Each structure stands twice: as C-alpha cells, then as structure tokens.
Amino acid sequence: MIKETEYRLITFYKFVDIANPIDVVKDHKQFCSDIGMKGRIYIGEEGINAQISCNTGQEKAYRLFLDASEHFKNIQDIDTKATPIECHKFPKMIVKYRNEIVAMGEIYKSSEIAKSTFKMSIDEFKEVMDSNPDDYVILDMRNDYEYELGHFKTAIPAATDTFKEVMDKLKDYKAEFAEKEVIMYCTGGIRCEKLGALLENSGLKGVRQLDGGVIKYVNTFDDGNWLGNLYTFDDRISTYVGSENTHTVISKSYYSDLPAEDYFNCRYADCQSHFTAKPDEYKKHYGFCSEQCRDKAIEDLLIRNADFDKNNYKLLRGSIKQNPALEEMIKEKIRKEILAATKNIEFKFKVPVKRRFKKGD
C-alpha cells in the first residue's frame, strides 16, 4: 500500500534588513514555483513573512534553500509553528515585494525590532494563564473578527478592524495600560514584534509579547486556556483548537446568535464583511450578510460563487461583457432565482454591520 503524501502548513517570518528585495523576490518566486509549493510570501526591506503549504519533499527542499540564502538562515520556530494538513491550503503560489512585511504604516530596521522586543516564552505565558491571568492585561492585538472566533481566556480585544488602526489607538492604550503589566499576543507573532517597536517609541514601555504567538502556544499545549477556534489566513480560515476535552465554541452566528464557528464571506463581492454562521443558515440566506447586499448583488451580479448555487457569476459577467444585449435577460433570471431562494427569509440586518467586542464578550 502506497503511503499518502504528508503535508504541513508552515508560517514564519524574519525581520532582517534587505538592500535588494526585488532581486530576492525574483529568485524566491522562481524556486517556490519550480518545486510546486503554494502559499503567500512577502519580502521587502524589513525581511520576510510567509505562510505556505507543502509536502514533505517540498518542505525539505525549501528549508535547504532558506539555509543557503544570505538573509534567511536560522528561521525560528518553523517546526513548533507547523501544522499537519491533508492537502494544500492555498490556491496558488504568490511571492511579492512589500516594503512592509506586515502593514502598519511604519518601516523598522531589524535592530529597532530587536531592541524593543520583550518576549515571554510560551512556558512563562502558560504559567501566567494557569495561575494568575487577572494580574495582567492580556491584550489580543488581532482584529475584531479574529477575536470573535477565539481568544485566550481573560483577553481584551484591541478593538480594530485592521492592524493599521493600532496607530490611532496608541493614546487609548497609554492612558489605560501605562501603570499595568501588559502581555500582548498575535497569531504567529509578527504583528506583535513590530508593534513592540511602535509602543516602545510611543512611550508605552516594557509591554511583553507572547513569543511565537497563538500558533506556537496551541501547537504545544492543549490546556483549555484558548477559547474557541483560531482564525488563520489560508483556506481553512476557522481552525479547530484543542481536543474533545478542551475545545469550546465561543462565537455566535451573525444571523441568529446561536453558537457557531464556521467562517464565511458575504457573497456580495463589494462587501468586505466576514462572519461566523452555521452552514445551513448561510445557505438559507444565500450567503448574503444583509438585505442591502442581496439587493445590490441582484443589480450588478458582483456575486461570489458558492457550492450551493449552480450559477457561475464570473462567467455570466463575462458573457454580458462580450454581448451586452444579454444583460437584461441574465439579470432578470438571476433576480428571480435569488428572490425565490430568499422569499421566506427576513434578514436580521438591513445593511452590513461591523460588530465590536469588549472584555467579557
């Protein structure tokens, strides 16, 4: 019997000064494409930020490639942050130049990152979480939609929709946390590395960060200190954390407030809402987050494809572009289908709603 190919999802980063990032991107892209990996890798003056899926052979080849490079030797935590998967979790391989490997509006030298880093090991953090978490401010520096799906117990959300919003929250953080012991955490650690420099420069000093982020912790400990699922930036999106004895569901359905932990995008392509819901509820609402999105989708057909909908909207839009005379006929057909599918549905929200979270939610 032939053994099935083993895959792993690997996430890593390294802050390192790169004088010629465009050349590095070109070489990196060529190698990753040649060996058939899939994922997203951003390289810039600040360093590298990568999330990739690969089989055993691809991983071995890629790690030899990293170790032989001028900039990417000795990447930390590749093994402890790796996750076994059954197949590739990205549709293609993307390697791009970005002047910031994690977007915040500020570019830092690797020396600045190192100088302002106050890391707490996962073992130290576990000791805090097991004994006295209320003695610290546990600050979740991810975005609200990530916090909603899962977070460490007693954690406070950063109250942001995007990481760039942190810049606008600095005064609030300084006012609220200046006299407290703060431990912040991110998914894999990269946002907190950069944020450490920002906080240090803004006057909020000594904020500690969880080394390796949530991924390293939950890959090592199955102790119930993490509540809910983990939001990941790959095809899984909502990732199960824990075991039968430790896993919890803390997120609620956007449609009904019932417990739910599957994550979806609104099917109206111009809407950026993503939310938790039960799969049958999502299908029942035809994948739209609000009445407004459904109605706009009918008008312009900017609809994401879905398994439960037989139409291929990308092809339909292409047909209209090639033959504008078909537009009214196609739109009328889709309008009737969608209205018939949702005729017994009363949307909870008339327009898209962004939900904010606070301690205790």
Distance CA 232, CA 35 (A): 24
C-beta of residue 38 within 8 angstroms of C-beta of residue 70: no
Residues 6+ apart with CB under 8 A from 131: none
How would you classify the pairing of strands 226-228 and 150-152?
Answer: antiparallel
Q: Which of the residues 186, 192, 266, 271 is marked catalytic?
A: 186
- Pairing state between β 208-210 and 182-185: parallel
| Alpha carbon separation from 188 to 12, 80, 211 (Å, rounded) | 7, 11, 8
Tell me, yes or no, if 87 is annotated catalytic: no
Beta bridge partners of 11: 51
For residue 270, give every residue at least 6 positions away whose Cβ sits within 8 Å of its Cβ, in sequence order, or none: 296, 302
Distance of alpha carbon 339 from the chain centroid: 33
Longest dimension (CA), the chain: 69
SS3 65: helix
Number of Cβ within 10 Å of residue 227's Cβ equals 20
Report residue 329 as tokens: 């006929």
- Token pair 């537009």 is found at 327
- Distance of alpha carbon 249 from alpha carbon 235, whole angstroms: 20
CA 303 from centre of chain: 22
Handedness of CA 106, 107, 109, 110 (dihedral sign): positive
AA identity, residue 64: L
Give residue 216's identity as a one-letter amino acid code.
Answer: K
Residue 216 CA to residue 190 CA, distance in Å, equals: 12
Element (H, E) at 11: strand 7-15
| H and E: helices and strands count for the chain | 12, 16
Whether the CB-CB separation of 14 and 72 falls below 8 Å is answered with yes
Active site residues: 186
